[in-house]
Amino acid sequence: MAWSYGDTVLYRYGRQGRAGFVRVGRVIADNPDGLALWIAPGSPQVESVLADGRGLRDLPIAERLHLPRVRKIATWRGPGIVKYAPADGDWSLWWFFNVNGQFEGWYVNLESPRVRWECDSLRVIDTADRALDVWITPDRVGRWKDEDEFAALTGQPGRWTAEQAPEIRATGERLMSLAAQGAFPFDGRWTDYQPDSAWSTASLPPDWDRPHLAAP
């Protein structure tokens, strides 16, 4: 199931059959190594927020953990990003740029193994976010992010288990080691990426909310 250059793909984070965050990207490359997408500035996306409209990070994790949430249609804020998902694995990698197009660093998002599927005109990647992340600077120095959130959510219903936690952290450590070595995918590819000038902003299809298929 290889997707073509410029195809629109939904990258969905969710759990228990329901998508909570959805991003829309265009295919840069899709091959046996993995899938690379361009998430353009202003691209539509779906976000989960607290029922009173506040963002999830407006409250400490312990306070927001059991509060009701709703979803809203929004847009990707800031410059565009390259988003890469390896063919196998429990992580994705995001290339961040500033408003002048200069590369600012890599964001390692630790997530569950992906489910890739398509139906009619939909092309979808489903996964579940695992809270713990890594920021890697252009000189390939990594640091952990959101360790407190990872600890608070471990073992919660519908989340990863305490037995899975060491393996999740080991994935982050492995990616930091690859970065320090300048090994793939930290080998300089896409650090000067410029999107195709012929691409229009991708749209969010009306059937974006089909059942989410990935496990936590």
Structural domain count, the chain: 1
| 191 is a domain residue | no
Domain range for residue 26? Answer: 7-181
25 vs 8: CA distance, rounded Å: 6
Cβ distance 66 to 58 under 8 Å?
A: no
Residue at 89 is within a domain: yes
Q: What is the pLDDT of residue 85?
A: 98
- Give the CB-side neighbour count of residue 187, counting CA atoms within 13 A: 3
Element housing 140 (H / E): none
- pLDDT, tens only, 83-136: 999 999 999 999 999 999 999 999 999 999 999 999 988 999 999 999 999 999
User: How many beta carbons lie within 10 A of that of residue 148, not counting itself?
Assistant: 13
Calculate the alpha carbon distances from 184 to 70, 93, 107, 140, 189 in Å. 38, 11, 14, 12, 9
The pLDDT, as a whole number, for residue 41 is 94
On whether residue 159 sits in a domain, the answer given is yes
Q: What is the pLDDT of residue 30?
A: 97
Question: Is the Cβ–Cβ distance between 112 and 216 less than 8 Å?
Answer: yes
The answer to whether residue 119 sits within a structural domain is yes
The answer to whether residue 84 is domain-embedded is yes
Instruction: Report d(CA 92, CA 82) in Å as an integer.
Output: 10
Task: Give the helix ranges, DSSP H, for 27-97.
Answer: 61-64
pLDDT at 62: 80
> Does residue 206 form part of some domain?
no
Whether the pTM exceeds 0.85: the reply is yes
Q: Residues 82, 107: contact at Cβ < 8 Å? A: no
Tokens of 85: 């998902």
Backbone angles phi, psi at 3, to 5 degrees: -100, 155
Residue 54 maps to which CATH number? 2.40.380.10
| Within-domain flag for 203 | no
Q: What is the pLDDT of residue 1?
A: 75
| Within a domain: 196 | no
Mean pLDDT by 10 residues, the chain (216 residues): 94 96 98 96 94 85 85 93 96 97 97 95 96 98 96 93 97 98 97 96 94 94
- Residue 163 has a pLDDT of 97
